[in-house]
Structure 1
Amino acid sequence: MQGTGGSRRDTVIVHGNASGTPTPDGSGTYGTAGSATVAVEADDFQARNLTVSNDFDEKAHRDVSAQAVALRTAADKVLLDSVIITGDQDTLELDGAARARPGRVYMTNSYVVGTVDFVFGSATAVIDRSVITLKKRWDGTSAGCVTAPSTPAGRKGFLIVNSTFNGDVAPGSFALGRPWHAGGDASLDPQTTVRDSTLGSGIRPAPWSDMGGFSWKDDRFAEYANTGPGAGTPSGDRPHLSDARASGQEVGDWLGDWPPVTS
């Protein structure tokens, strides 16, 4: 799927369903996954040079569950190159192809914009050389979280590398991630690693958060060699990988035998 314009902003796929939006037949609501503007369930999918947006208006529909997905992937070997994925809560859902096999995603030269848990799911995913933009909520407040991985045990989760975290939000107001044990599943082992990236001032000094009664300290959250005003020194609330461990958390370790070909 490739935009034909000179800019990724010239081709925009947009819709505005949220989790709590009623379905036309009156049978219920869309749910989080069903709210997606674009849903990908085919292996070897590629998207280039376009924007996928969910423009659900949280302010106008405050009585509706506001999770509103722009792009959902549930497939293996998904390449997102030079795209913009934008929304508010739950913008980019990256899921595995099936419980029995992983779903690998490689995003590069791209932008992701959101407020709460706006990169989430069970996929083995790399966000490389991209910009993650932190966004204020509809009421002007700054309080959010970037990632909410729900990684199965024994698999790799989210790796964000060579990227920039920015946004016009209050200093120290956003977490880098929190563990999503979907359905209260204690067997999951959520993972986010953020490395070799520039962290803006919006990132919290203690950048990881608990979720749903599960402590981030019981899962896999770490940084390595980040810089910028939102970066910090290692501590009990801010674990950093050793050089030896970081050598095993590179892009190639995530993608395995799949070398995505970018433009």
Structure 2
Amino acid sequence: MRRPMLAVLTVAAVALVATATAAQAATTYVVATDGSGNYTTIQAALSAAKSGDTISVKAGTYRGQVSIPAAKSGITIKGATGTSSDIVITGNVPQSTGGATGSATVLNLAANTTITGVTIANTYGIGSQALALYAGGDRQVYRNVRLLGRQDTFLSWGGTGSKQVRQYVYKSYIEGDVDFIYGNGAVVIDSTTIKSLDRGSSNNGFVTAAATNATNRYGILITRSTLQGPSATQTVALGRCWHAGNAADAIGQVLIRESTLGGHIRQAGAWQDMSGFSWKTCRFNEYNNTGAGATHGTSDRPQMSASTAAGYTSQKYLAGADGWNPVQP
């Protein structure tokens, strides 16, 4: 007669433990420069946070590097106001002194992270590579973010060899001049404004520099986006072929599809050689673009066919072996 009651109590106890665990996983830490939150720096909040936690950042300017180590997976950092320009994470360290990891204003090596509603900037300016964001973890999502820099603004990097990380950037803003979207990850940049800055030259830089490993089908996809530029027409290339460390198997892959290209994009020479490697050794294509910078009339602007493009969607770039699909309609 008593055993059923014990079973009910045991089930109830398990339910209480599960509820407590869920509540613990949902902890939100508030960061505010004026001391009105739990912490005054994002880094301090990250030190306390566990997988599943959220860091809500109040309006303000936060200086110095924010580093999210690989052990801090599953964390969300979100701007509290929903307006990305209200929350600015900024640094000015060049790669010439800090290296790629030390230069990055945000160094995100963790998987399953989400960052929304913030600005990430490196204000070093012209003269050296200077990263705003180093995205080195798998299954990362960036929504409503502003990535500001000059050379090497946004790096997606999975390490040497065929290992690949995946990132999804949605309804955001990225600006820079030289190779400012680059790396060997599988990156989808969707419904985003991409602005090339004016260097006061007939060469105003390159939007992408992909180093995709030859064994990986997918690299950088820019889709449903708008490419804007400086006033000088036909001075910006869509990308160049980066063989990182002179690796022969870094056969970059870039597709720009269903996007609007401004008149700053070169008509001929939109894809460029780099460090002695011909752009033709890489996998560069366009599909169904519009705008003054889009052309279908020159042999050095390869256009992907509709049948092939069906295999190069956002979902396919990001699916991997686990079927990850963060893509917004």
TM-score when normalising by structure 2: 0.72
Q: What do the CA deviations read for 1:236-257 (whole angstroms, capped 9, x no partner)?
A: 2111001111111111110111
Q: Mind listing any 5+ residue stretches in structure 1 that lack a counterpart?
A: 21-28
Which residues in structure 2 correspond to 1:9-28 (within 5 Å)? 9-20=85-96
Give % identity.
Answer: 40
The alpha-carbon deviation at position 259 of structure 1 amounts to 1.5
**Cα RMSD (Å):** 1.6
Structure 1 residues 6 and 107, CA gap change in structure 2 (3 angstroms): closer
| d(CA) in 1 for partners of 2:129, 2:165 | 22
Q: Is the 8 A contact 1:74 1:98 kept in 2?
A: no
**Does the alignment pair 1:35 with 2:103?**
yes
For 1:23, the equivalent position in structure 2 comes to none
Q: What do the CA deviations read for 1:103-140 (whole angstroms, capped 9, x no partner)?
A: 01100000000010000111000000000001012xx3
Structure 1 residues 48 and 11, CA gap change in structure 2 (3 angstroms): same
| d(CA) in 1 for partners of 2:125, 2:256 | 30
Q: What do the CA deviations read for 1:208-249 (whole angstroms, capped 9, x no partner)?
A: 000011111111000000000000014321110011111111
Higher helix share: 2
Residues matched between the structures, number: 247
Q: Which has the higher contact order (CA 8 A, sep 6+)?
A: 1
Match among 160, 164, 183 for residue 102 of structure 1: 164
| d(CA) in 2 for partners of 1:203, 1:218 | 21
| d(CA) in 2 for partners of 1:7, 1:242 | 38
Q: What's the secondary structure of 1:178's corresponding residue?
A: strand
**Does the alignment pair 1:146 with 2:207?**
yes
For 1:7, the equivalent position in structure 2 comes to 83
Match among 117, 130, 141 for residue 49 of structure 1: 117
Higher Cα radius of gyration: 2
| d(CA) in 2 for partners of 1:149, 1:100 | 14
| d(CA) in 1 for partners of 2:168, 2:299 | 30
**Does the alignment pair 1:227 with 2:290?**
yes
Q: Is the 8 A contact 1:122 1:157 kept in 2?
A: yes
Question: Which residue identity does 1:40 align to in structure 2?
Answer: N
Question: Which residue identity does 2:136 align to in structure 1?
Answer: A
Structure 1 residues 118 and 132, CA gap change in structure 2 (3 angstroms): same
**Does the alignment pair 1:79 with 2:147?**
no
The alpha-carbon deviation at position 166 of structure 1 amounts to 0.6
Question: Which residue identity does 1:228 align to in structure 2?
Answer: G
For 2:231, the equivalent position in structure 1 comes to 169
Question: Which residue identity does 1:76 align to in structure 2?
Answer: D
Q: What do the CA deviations read for 1:15-56 (whole angstroms, capped 9, x no partner)?
A: 000012xxxxxxxx3123321001010000110001000011
For 1:260, the equivalent position in structure 2 comes to 326
TM-score when normalising by structure 1: 0.90
| d(CA) in 1 for partners of 2:250, 2:298 | 25
Question: Which residue identity does 1:80 align to in structure 2?
Answer: Y
The alpha-carbon deviation at position 161 of structure 1 amounts to 0.4
| d(CA) in 2 for partners of 1:144, 1:70 | 17
Q: Is the 8 A contact 2:314 2:327 kept in 1?
A: no
